[in-house]
Amino acid sequence: MATRDETIGFIGLGAMGRGMASNCVKKGFNLIVFDIKPEPIEALVKLGAKAARSVAEVAKSCSLIITVLPTGREVGEIVMGADGLFANAKAGALVMDLSTIDPETTDRLHTQGKAKGIATVDAPIGRLAWHADRGESLFMVGAEAKDFERVKPLLEAMGTTIHHCGAGGTGTRTKLVNNYLAIILCQLNAEALALTQRFGLDLAKTLDVIHGTTATNGQLKVNWPNKVLAGDTSPGFTIDLAHKDLSLIMGAANASRVPLPVAAAAREMFSAARARGMGGQDFSAMGDFMCDLIQAERPRLKKG
C-alpha cells in the first residue's frame, strides 16, 4: 500500500485536485505535482510538495500517480499519449484517475495499463470542491482488490467515504449513475419552485410540506437552502459541469442501449441556461433560471 516514504505524483490541481493534493501533503505524503497553471503548483510547493516540469518527469519519478483532469480527452493525452504516463512510467507503477469521464476512456485506461504492466484504478470523486478542501471527499473506486488496498491510504487522506464498487470501470459507471440523479433533481426542483413562485405560494411553507413527503430530496433539502435559496450561486459544481456530465451519461446510456428521455430534456434546459451566460454558476442556479424564464421572482428563503 501507499506509504509516506513513497513519492506520489499528482497531476491536475484545479478546484478539486488542489484541495486533495494539499490534504495529502498535510497528512505526510511526499508529493511531486504538475499542472498547466503555475499558481496551484506554487501553492503546493509552499506546503511542502515538489514541482515537476512535465508529465514525463512525474512518471519517471513516482511509483504511484494520481490524475484529476477535466475530460476524457485530457486523460487520453496525459495518461495514454505518446509522451504520457504510460510511456514513461516503470513497470509495476500504479495510475489512479479521479476524473469524471466517459466509460470508454476508462476502459482503455485499464486495458492499456495492463498491457504495459502498470496497475490502474478509476476513482471518480463525489461531493464538491469545499469537501475536497476539507478532506471530506467521497470516492467511487473501480479496481482490483490488491490495487484498491494500495491506494486506500491516499483516498483516506483525501476523503471520508470510500466505496470499492468492483473491478476497473465500475467507479466511473457508478459516478455517472449518481450524477444522473443529482443533476436531474436540480431540474425537477427548479420547475417545482418556478411553479411555487407562479402560484404565489409561501416558499418556506411549501418546502415544509415537500420535506415531509416522499417528494423530498437531498438537493432541495440539504444543498439548495445553502446555495440558490440563500442567494448564493457561486460555483461549487457548475451548470457547465452538470451539462458535461449529462452528455457523458447520455453517451454511455446510448452505447448500452438505455433510453434516457428525462436526461435529454434536462440537458436541453441546462443548455438554455448556458446560453443565458449562467454556465459558470452553481447548478442550483437552475432555480433562478427557471424563474427568470417565466418572469417570476427568484426563490429565496427569508433569513431568520
Q: Which residues are catalytic?
A: 175
CA distance linking residue 34 with residue 140, whole number of Å? 24
Sign of torsion over alpha carbons 236, 241, 243, 247: negative
Type and span of the H or E element at 55: helix 55-61
CA distance linking residue 58 with residue 246, whole number of Å? 32
CB-based contacts of 130, cutoff 8 Å, min separation 6: 236
Cα-based distances in Å from 57 to 8, 62, 63, 79, 277: 12, 9, 12, 13, 39
CA distance linking residue 151 with residue 130, whole number of Å? 22
For residue 179, count other CB atoms closer than 10 A to its CB.
Answer: 21
Length of the chain as a residue count: 304
Residue in this structure with the C-alpha cell 411553479, named with its chain if needed: 195
CA distance linking residue 252 with residue 56, whole number of Å? 31
All cell numbers assigned to 146:
490488491
